[in-house]
Amino acid sequence: MDKPNPQNLRRINRRDLLWIVPSAITTGFFGWLAWRTYLIHFTKAGVSEPVWREGPRRAVATLDELAAPWHFKYFDYEYSGSPLKAVVFRLPQPVVGGLTVGEAHFLALSRICTHQGCVVNYVDNPELGSIAYNYRTDHPFLGCPCHFGAYEPLQGGKAVYGPPRFPLPRLRLEEENGVLYATGYETPFRPLEPG
Ligand code: FES
């Protein structure tokens, strides 16, 4: 049997590199893309009944200020002695962790993104939102300007698109004499509390 010619082996290896390297790069890219798509769409934590921690009682809005569904108001709440950005909505339907007063439904959420802590904003134009956040819906939602994560108020603040995995923590609401009060917050309070 003939011995392999080392010259031929070297030539074959160089030629092989011309397809091995691009193939490896392409396979790696599509593998990364598939993994990222999986993370973005299929690894979102669900929203269940909150476990509340007692907090200061603060007036956050009057019922008149939230007279119709999708009216909202930003407010600051205290978390560990520091102001925490939050939002309260009136919603068209009850949601877990929210408050119902008569026929009106409310939900209060932290505005601190559970991905890397940017402040999320109320996105009131679903058409523009679908372009900027790639999240298609027919109603307002919360969007994070840093990496375009989207959160759904009708699902109790669940992360629905982008890098965030965990929902926005809810704040406990109570009503008295036409005023909504925040009286505590959900724990773990991500991302400020691990859990
Ligand atoms: S910090 Fe909000 S999506 Fe990254």
Catalogue the long-range contacts made by 41-47 (C-beta closer than 8 Å, 24 or more residues apart). Answer: 43/165, 44/158, 44/159, 44/160, 44/164, 44/165, 45/158, 45/159, 45/165, 45/166, 45/167, 46/158, 47/96, 47/97, 47/155, 47/156, 47/157, 47/158, 47/167
Closest CA to 98 of 167, 165, 154: 154
Q: Could you tell me which residue, 21 or 64, shows the higher pLDDT? A: 64
Residue 8 has pLDDT above 60, yes or no: no
Confidence band, pLDDT 50/70/90 cuts, at residue 11: low
158 lines ligand 1 (CB under 6 A): no
Q: In angstroms, what is the span from residue 146 Cα to ligand 1's centroid? A: 5
User: 69 preceded by cis ω (within 30°)?
Assistant: no
Mean pLDDT of 2-7: 58
pLDDT score for 10: 60
* Mean pLDDT of all residues in 11-29: 77
Atom of ligand 1 lying closest to residue 120 CA: 2
Say which residues have a Cβ less than 8 Å from residue 34's Cβ, sequence separation at least 6: none
The whole-number pLDDT of residue 31 equals: 76
Cα separation, 133 vs 160, whole angstroms: 10
Q: In this structure, which amino acid lies at residue 107? A: L
What atom of ligand 1 comes closest to residue 116's alpha carbon? 1
Q: Give me ligand 1 centre to Cα 135, in Å.
A: 15
Contact 59, 178 (CB under 8 A): no
Given a cut of 70, whether residue 181 has pLDDT beyond it is yes
This prediction's pTM:
0.82
At position 39, the amino acid (one-letter code) is L
pLDDT category of residue 4 using cuts at 50, 70 and 90: low
Q: What is the pLDDT of residue 25?
A: 85
3-state SS track over 108-121:
EEECECCCCCCECE
Q: For residue 5, what pLDDT band results from cuts at 50, 70 and 90? A: low
Q: Which amino acid is at 176?
A: E
CB-ligand 1 contact for 144 (6 Å cutoff): yes
CA distances from 176 to 59, 89, 113, 125 (A): 10, 17, 30, 32
Residue 147 Cα: closest atom of ligand 1? 3
Indicate if ligand 1 lies below 6 Å from the C-beta of 50: no
pLDDT of residue 41: 65
Q: Which of 4-18, 40-54, 97-111, 112-126 has the lowest mean pLDDT?
A: 4-18
Summarize pLDDT for 55-94 with one digit per residue, the tens: 999 999 999 999 999 999 999 999 988 999 999 999 999 9
